[in-house]
Structure 1
Amino acid sequence: MTSYSEKPWLKKYDPGVPASCKPYPEVPLYQFLRDAAGKHGDKPALITSARVPVLGRISANITYRELDEASDALASALISLGVKKGDRVALVMPNTAAFVISYYAILKAGGVVAATNPTYPAEKMQFQINDCDAQIVITLSLFYPLIKSIQARTKVKTVIVTNVKEYLPPVARLLFTVAKEKKDGHRIDQLADGDLWFQELLTRFAGQRPAVDVRPADLAIFQYTGGTTGISKAAMSAHRALVANTVQCRTVLLAGTKSTEEAANEIFLGAIPFFHVYGLVTVVSFAISLGATVVLVPNARDIADLLDVIDTFHPTIFMGVPALYNAINNHPLVTSGKVDLTSIRICMSGSAPLPPATKREFERITGGKLLEGFGMSEAPTATHANPLLGENRTGSIGLPFPDVDVRIVSLDDGVTDVPVGEIGEMILSGPQLMVGYHGMPTETANTLREMDGKVWLYTGDIARMDEDGYFYIVDRKKDMALIGGFNVYPNNVEKVLAEHPAVLEVGVAAVPHPEKEGQEALKAWIVLREGQTVTPEELISFCEKYLARYEIPTRFAFVSALPKTTVGKTLRRELVQMELSERERSAP
């Protein structure tokens, strides 16, 4: 009988992928940038682009040498402003060149990056900036008024401001007139006392290089969890963890690559948000560790613009989420064949279950491989992926990365291994685990537990492993529903409904039963494909082919969009709140 300790997944690794990547480099994360600048100094590290009249899409590059020098200058500026080792600096901007410069500058200064979703409302922004104790915020001018509106209720003393046009191609900068700046909210005529312009700092500290002794064990990032089940928590991770996961990604996802020179020719699509560790590791750190190029996409929700970027720059690696791949599959520019996506070779999908139909169609369109994987903010960022060259199993998150131990333990005692093939909570141990949650010792102790001389991360995911070591997420523990005395996993129901040809997206959650007090009922929220119609009765009939009767929702709502986190996870608690609000409105 197969056991977890035997690591059966090792036999399914692609040729050349080792059981271990040890020894990992004992360096700070920014050493990857230093090395790339030394080896590929004149090569484009970042591409910023814009579509302009007549000329079409034009671009401007930042080379590896320029990126290294700019981040050195800003790091020196941060140190002059009082940033000390371990201080948190908040970063509030989308995927821009200034974000990447700031990210490495904070790390070089010995600081800790606390990147925040720039579209957050004031209250949520205030919570995260306060929680991380940031005294300095680096932001785009577009978000400057928001930061100033909450500053008095935070510890922030200084705001550093950059304008989105600063790294645009020269022609695009000219067309980005004062009138357009004002109209779109980018124009700031004068900063408040004590605040500083990003470019002025780069000029003033040009040529200076910080000399902070940053060690592998020092903290590098605060990654705030999506808060899908409640209050957002800051997962603290060290340089060592991020370096390890970068090496793991490189080893697993570039299986079959012949040389470092070949790897350096990869072009990464920078579409997944960099303010989330998924983008920071699998795009920014991964690409820079190779000396590869990142094409920046500040707003991946603009699918037409995203497709134009792909059609122009022909990226080879595209990390994303199911909702993004699905949106591409169904966009008119794609269905009409007007854009060329065939440059894309390697994609990894994370943050939410990948519907098999989405995977099939995306691979048909691109000719590339779309690998379902798994990761967490608490293990930044990837722990599993289906093999690039080997078998991809439907519904599986794939195989654990080298040096990652995984077990499925009893939902009752959290300690006993369940037999292979049975469900339980997935726990994992590896070099990329977080240090803990900031200011939350109880939550840290519940999530990180020591057993058998190892620290194990309790993921909160109900999962199973098959005999060959492929893992399957069944659902989140907190999302499991009890319907008629049976355990029902909304994720499984969503997978079935997503296969219906009329369904674009679906979310399923347990809601309080409207008629039987103390019991739950299953409800599905459906986003239809354009031009499609379907009735609840037809959906129920479809489900009957694949699900037990108690697993089939009897309540349906047709909506235009599902509530999601920034990295594509459906917010089931918001679906439940939608149902409760609707009941309140319709109550007599």
Structure 2
Amino acid sequence: MPTSIETMAASTEAKLDSFVIRSPVVVDAAKLLAASPASLTVGKVIFSKLREHDPNRVFVAHAMDPEHRRQTYGELLSGAVGLAHGLITNLGLRRGDRLAIVAPNHEHYHMVFFACLFSGIIAVPLVPQMTVQEGTRLIREVEPHAVVVHSSLHRVVHEALKIVEQSLPVVIYDSLTDGLDLDNNTVLLRDLIVPGQKMPPSTFSEVHQADVAFMLFTSGTTGTNKAVEITHQMMIVNLAQAQAFAASLTSGAQSDGLASMKLLSDNAQGTPMACSGFFHLSGTLMGMATAVQGGTMYFMEEFDAGKWLDAIARVKIGQLSMTPHNLVQIIKHPHANSTEMSSLKLIFSIAAPLSALTQVRIMEGLKAPVVQSYASTETLNLTSPRLRLDKVAPPGAIGWLIPGMEAMLIDPETHEPIQVVKDGVTGPGEIIYRGPNLFSHYFHRPQETKEAFIEIGGKSWYRMGDLCTVDQDGCLTVVDRSKEMIKTGGNTVIPTELESLILRLPTVTDVVVVPVPGGDEQVVPCAAVVPQNPAVLDDTAAQTKLAKDITDLVAQELAAYKYLTGGVVFLDAVPRTVTGKILRRAARTKVIELLNAHDDSLESVTKAVESSRKARNSCSTSHGPWSVFLSIVAPWRRWRSRV
């Protein structure tokens, strides 16, 4: 006979049932967890697959120099296994140690990553376009036991290690060591590899699903970016979820039978793929998927629309994985209409929401289907863009939940669940999730981990931070962010980071950073500043000088994607509550009203100075030449382009 507690739990479950959004493919989460043995790891899956592939087939190649900058499957396997031994025997690392990777896209990137999977060492890719200050914070955050760094970024890492007063082994990724400040702790990557090894080191067999496979940093949508420990179990379960959904599409049945679970199919072996960045989640997953499938992946260090158009035509790329902004840049390039792109079969839009209008425009421009890849570092993949073989998500939508996942929409202010409408659209509301593929905690961040979850109905739900709607078929659409971070070019800008930096200037009394329209389906950061001297509000020359001081400071301290591309405007006061909290929406409205009101007279009141600086190595976006924005009430350049 059920106890009173069990009865109460069942009653609560029944009450919540009308609020819960589920996958159309019914799979028991417990069965997903039990679908594979505890000894099965991501490293073992990849190692097994690499041994099956043609060793002469190209795994990865530079899109502009595929004949010289490439790596075959044979080179990848022997290099990764040999390096796995070298990390243990030559560098002295142990299973569970953390290896930071600081490098732009490179043909040897995944060899290093897979070597970690083959040795039980935890790979921790860091954002390559970082300053010394940011590098210092990231190194303190993850406490690595060694660092692998590209020669172009050695100075940043070297200075950061001095600041944190750590003497760590530093491995130079490439052989371009001229002019570098090397010491006895420095070794070349090629010198670490133990030749002639056929099997991974003994630590390989000691790794289990519950262990951390690798760590990735979040984009920072809930504040400072945090390191997420991604376990082998998260990866294995997420692959099983995707396979269960795929099986239901091909069979027409929605069964929870997982006895013959297959992690990934090999149908992409002949389709060359292109990825914009290796260090973040999408690049990491694409690298592993390519290795398992036996495909070929192309890359560049920095995004360039013209070069990618050339590569699509020249090497017959079949699949793209890029941000909405980069895809827009490609279709708006002068050579887009004249470029042969018939090889394109599928395009993944990653890292930021994609509007319906822009999605249609990209599909028309590239003449290929576009789907939104909806995932996060904390959850991995969450949705499928296809419900049945004859039904796909409409433009602007992210699709249906994968098996084993549950979601709920809650009021962003009250956190009360929103009941699902059976014959219409529910929401928008803040979407929360629970399921077997969720992370458990941020590395050394217990408070942030606690704040990332909310308890409803006696269960813990992860707060993704998105405002979503769901239609009567269960198809989800991201409407906006529920948190006030700024997504630009696939990166996330944290307003408080910019504000605290700008407030270091004695000439600034108050500041708020808000997103303003930047064209090409993106927003850019704009700083609204209250000067210490009120007379500056009526002095054009003084505003010009202060704006330059602010933009110079930001350029000196932060990465290029955090520059104030939206400009600097001046206010007499920042909108705040009685308790002193910034009213960001009111501030943004005020700034945009000022920009629009003064747009017609922009030329007569704005002075601008442009200066170009060579962009740092970037794996995800092209920042292009930056500009110093000297503005009275508007940025030096007003973009009006719309897709």
What is the TM-score when the length of structure 2 is the normalising length?
0.68
Aligned to 1:159: 170
Partner secondary structure for residue 219 of structure 2: coil
How far 1:77 sits from its partner (Å)?
Answer: 1.2
Residues 1:387 and 2:386 aligned together: yes
| d(CA) in 2 for partners of 1:524, 1:45 | 54
- 1:306-337 per-residue CA deviation (whole Å, 9 max, x = no partner) reads 223222222222222101111111112213x1
How far 1:94 sits from its partner (Å)?
Answer: 2.0
Aligned to 1:447: 452
Query: Any residues of structure 2 matched to 1:548-567 within 5 Å, and which?
Result: none
Residues 1:222 and 2:215 aligned together: yes
How far 1:414 sits from its partner (Å)?
Answer: 3.0
Partner secondary structure for residue 334 of structure 1: coil
Aligned to 1:434: 439
Contact 1:74 1:202 in 2 (8 A): yes
Residues 1:209 and 2:200 aligned together: yes
Residues 1:28 and 2:32 aligned together: no
| d(CA) in 2 for partners of 1:399, 1:539 | 42
Contact 2:217 2:226 in 1 (8 A): yes
Residues 1:119 and 2:129 aligned together: yes
| d(CA) in 2 for partners of 1:506, 1:559 | 23
Residues 1:85 and 2:95 aligned together: yes
- Cα–Cα, structure 1 residues 304 and 227, in superposed 2: closer, same or farther, change >3 Å? same
Query: Any residues of structure 2 matched to 1:348-367 within 5 Å, and which?
Result: 348-367=348-367
- 1:396-421 per-residue CA deviation (whole Å, 9 max, x = no partner) reads 22211222211112334435344441
- Cα–Cα, structure 1 residues 479 and 189, in superposed 2: closer, same or farther, change >3 Å? closer
| d(CA) in 2 for partners of 1:47, 1:160 | 22
How far 1:220 sits from its partner (Å)?
Answer: 1.7
Partner secondary structure for residue 331 of structure 1: coil
How far 1:464 sits from its partner (Å)?
Answer: 2.2
- 1:132-177 per-residue CA deviation (whole Å, 9 max, x = no partner) reads 111211121222222222222343511111227xxxxxxxxxxxxx
Compare 100-109 and 358-367 and name the one that shifted more: 358-367
Aligned to 2:273: 269
Contact 1:47 1:59 in 2 (8 A): no
- Indicate which of 40, 43, 49 corresponds to 2:62: 49
Aligned to 1:231: 224
Aligned to 1:473: 478
Aligned to 1:68: 77
Aligned to 1:403: 404
| d(CA) in 1 for partners of 2:459, 2:292 | 28
- Cα–Cα, structure 1 residues 299 and 510, in superposed 2: closer, same or farther, change >3 Å? closer
User: Runs of 5+ in structure 1 lacking a partner?
Assistant: 165-180, 482-493, 527-534, 541-555, 571-577
How far 1:364 sits from its partner (Å)?
Answer: 2.0
- Cα–Cα, structure 1 residues 566 and 378, in superposed 2: closer, same or farther, change >3 Å? farther
| d(CA) in 2 for partners of 1:479, 1:559 | 30
| d(CA) in 2 for partners of 1:79, 1:288 | 23
- 1:103-129 per-residue CA deviation (whole Å, 9 max, x = no partner) reads 111122212111012121111112112
| d(CA) in 2 for partners of 1:262, 1:255 | 18
Partner secondary structure for residue 361 of structure 1: helix
- 1:347-405 per-residue CA deviation (whole Å, 9 max, x = no partner) reads 221221213343223222333210123211211x3212422852332332221122221
- 1:442-501 per-residue CA deviation (whole Å, 9 max, x = no partner) reads 1111213455675421112222212111112222222399xxxxxxxxxxxx99989xxx
Q: Which amino acid aligns with 1:241?
A: M
Partner secondary structure for residue 226 of structure 1: coil
- 1:510-550 per-residue CA deviation (whole Å, 9 max, x = no partner) reads 98794675462445999xxxxxxxx958999xxxxxxxxxx
Contact 2:276 2:303 in 1 (8 A): no
Query: Any residues of structure 2 matched to 1:519-558 within 5 Å, and which?
Result: 520-522=586-588, 536=596
Compare 244-253 and 78-87 and name the one that shifted more: 244-253
Contact 1:352 1:569 in 2 (8 A): no
How far 1:568 sits from its partner (Å)?
Answer: 6.7
- Indicate which of 149, 154, 179 corresponds to 2:159: 149
Contact 2:210 2:233 in 1 (8 A): yes
Aligned to 1:458: 463
Partner secondary structure for residue 240 of structure 1: helix
Partner secondary structure for residue 386 of structure 2: coil
| d(CA) in 2 for partners of 1:346, 1:454 | 38
Q: Which amino acid aligns with 2:52?
A: K
- Indicate which of 237, 240, 244 corresponds to 1:244: 237
Contact 1:511 1:523 in 2 (8 A): no
Partner secondary structure for residue 235 of structure 1: strand
Aligned to 2:112: 102
Contact 1:510 1:522 in 2 (8 A): no
| d(CA) in 2 for partners of 1:479, 1:51 | 38
Aligned to 1:372: 372
- Indicate which of 184, 190, 195 corresponds to 1:193: 184
Partner secondary structure for residue 437 of structure 1: coil
- Cα–Cα, structure 1 residues 356 and 146, in superposed 2: closer, same or farther, change >3 Å? same
Aligned to 2:335: 333
User: Runs of 5+ in structure 2 lacking a partner?
Assistant: 1-15, 252-261, 487-513, 529-569, 577-582, 601-605, 624-628, 637-643
| d(CA) in 1 for partners of 2:127, 2:485 | 28
| d(CA) in 2 for partners of 1:268, 1:253 | 21
Partner secondary structure for residue 467 of structure 1: coil
| d(CA) in 1 for partners of 2:621, 2:355 | 13
| d(CA) in 1 for partners of 2:21, 2:219 | 34
| d(CA) in 2 for partners of 1:38, 1:28 | 16
| d(CA) in 1 for partners of 2:591, 2:185 | 48
Partner secondary structure for residue 48 of structure 1: strand
- Cα–Cα, structure 1 residues 211 and 393, in superposed 2: closer, same or farther, change >3 Å? same
RMSD: 4.4
Q: Which amino acid aligns with 1:72?
A: V
Compare 504-513 and 401-410 and name the one that shifted more: 504-513
Aligned to 1:178: none
Partner secondary structure for residue 231 of structure 1: coil
Compare 257-266 and 143-152 and name the one that shifted more: 257-266
Contact 2:342 2:367 in 1 (8 A): yes
Q: Which is greater in Rg?
A: 2
Percent identity between the aligned chains? 21
How far 1:264 sits from its partner (Å)?
Answer: 4.4
Contact 1:135 1:158 in 2 (8 A): yes
How far 1:557 sits from its partner (Å)?
Answer: 13
What is the TM-score when the length of structure 1 is the normalising length?
0.74
Partner secondary structure for residue 392 of structure 2: coil
Contact 2:515 2:524 in 1 (8 A): no
| d(CA) in 2 for partners of 1:427, 1:414 | 10
Query: Any residues of structure 2 matched to 1:419-430 within 5 Å, and which?
Result: 419-420=420-421, 421-430=426-435
Q: Which amino acid aligns with 1:294?
A: M
Residues 1:278 and 2:282 aligned together: yes
Contact 1:246 1:286 in 2 (8 A): no
| d(CA) in 2 for partners of 1:257, 1:367 | 25
| d(CA) in 1 for partners of 2:50, 2:317 | 21
Contact 2:404 2:435 in 1 (8 A): yes
- Cα–Cα, structure 1 residues 279 and 480, in superposed 2: closer, same or farther, change >3 Å? closer
Aligned to 1:529: none
Contact 1:373 1:398 in 2 (8 A): no
| d(CA) in 1 for partners of 2:294, 2:173 | 26
- Cα–Cα, structure 1 residues 364 and 452, in superposed 2: closer, same or farther, change >3 Å? same
Contact 1:70 1:206 in 2 (8 A): no
Count of aligned residue pairs for this structure pair: 506
Q: Which amino acid aligns with 2:377?
A: S
Contact 1:405 1:430 in 2 (8 A): yes
